[in-house]
């Protein structure tokens, strides 16, 4: 495995969001997590600190996990990129996709119904997909917020960070659709 030119450029540019997304994607592409380890090593050796810290402990869904749980946590990982959350997502991937590592020629793991992620020819998701995925993530974040005894919604600092990142991704994708790069 090797660090792609696109990843190296994102690290050089200090583009934390892009680096985190590419690290997250590597978890599903290579279920041995060797690619993740290699990319993480490259990032750390470059002096870029990609880890987040949160004062509040994260709340995780207990096993058994489903593809929906895996999809949600992979999306949430970008906004909660802590070592604890990465290890949790690895456990989910191992359970949902299995622990065996398919041949390097075809590494496939079902991610959404009727779709797969393959190692061949990485491509960027369309702006429409980015918008829809982030709207779904916003809704899930809202649904995960707890109601207080008086019926009000409790939004944590972590929730606000997630919402902010999703909103920025939506705005960036809207600008791409409108040709305002």
Q: What's the pLDDT at 111?
A: 41
Could you tell me if 112 and 166 lie in one domain?
no
CA distance 128 to 30: 26
**pLDDT in the model for residue 8:** 93
Whether 66 and 95 map to the same domain: the answer is yes
Statement: residue 112 has pLDDT above 80: no
How many residues does this entry show for the chain?
181
29-38, 41-50, 161-170: which has the minimum mean pLDDT? 161-170
- Tally of domains in the chain: 2
* Of the candidates 84, 109, 85, the residue with the CA atom closest to the CA atom of residue 32: 109
Shared domain for 105 and 139, answered yes or no, is no
Mean pLDDT of 114-140: 65
Same domain, 107 and 139: no
The DSSP secondary structure of 62-93, one letter per residue, reads PSS--HHHHHHHHHHHTTS--HHHHHHHHHHH
Q: What is the pLDDT of residue 83?
A: 92
Q: Which residue has the tokens 């991704």?
A: 169
Q: In the predicted model, what is the mean pLDDT of residues 8-33?
A: 92
Residue 104 has pLDDT above 60, yes or no: no
Give yes or no: residues 18 and 92 share one domain: yes
- Do 7 and 82 belong to one domain? yes
Mean pLDDT for the stretch of residues 71-96: 91
Same domain for 130 and 160? yes
Is there a single domain that holds both residue 113 and residue 161? no
**Shared-domain flag, residues 99 and 160:** no
Tell me the mean pLDDT in the region 46-64.
83
More confident position, 83 or 156? 83
Mean pLDDT across the stretch 69-85? 90
What range defines the domain where residue 45 resides?
1-119
What number is the average pLDDT over the span 43-57?
A: 87
Which of the pair, 106 or 46, is modelled with greater confidence? 46
**Angstrom distance (rounded) from CA 73 to CA 63:** 13
Query: What backbone torsions phi and psi does residue 118 show, to the nearest 5 degrees?
Result: -115, 155
What whole-number distance in Å separates Cα of residue 94 and Cα of residue 79? 21
pLDDT of amino acid 99:
61
pLDDT band at residue 143 using 50, 70 and 90 as cut-offs = confident
Nearest to 172 by CA among 133, 140, 123: 133
| pTM tops 0.75 | no
């Amino acid at each position: 495995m090797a660090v792609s030119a696109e990843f190296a450029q994102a690290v050089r540019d200090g583009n934390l969001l892009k680096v985190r997304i590419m690290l997250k994607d590597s978890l599903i592409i290579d279920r041995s997590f060797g690619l993740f380890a290699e990319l993480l090593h490259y990032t750390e050796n470059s002096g870029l600190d990609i880890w987040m810290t949160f004062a509040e402990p994260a709340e995780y869904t207990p096993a058994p996990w489903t593809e929906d749980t895996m999809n949600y946590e992979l999306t949430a990982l970008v906004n909660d990129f802590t070592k604890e959350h990465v290890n949790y997502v690895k456990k989910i991937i191992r359970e949902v996709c299995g622990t065996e590592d398919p041949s390097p020629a075809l590494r496939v793991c079902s991610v959404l119904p009727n779709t797969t992620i393959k190692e061949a020819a990485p491509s960027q998701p369309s702006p429409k997909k980015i918008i829809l995925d982030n709207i779904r993530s916003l809704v899930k974040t809202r649904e995960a917020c707890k109601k207080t005894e008086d019926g009000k919604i409790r939004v944590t600092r972590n929730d606000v960070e997630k919402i902010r990142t999703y909103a920025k991704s939506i705005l960036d994708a809207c600008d791409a659709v409108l040709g305002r790069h």
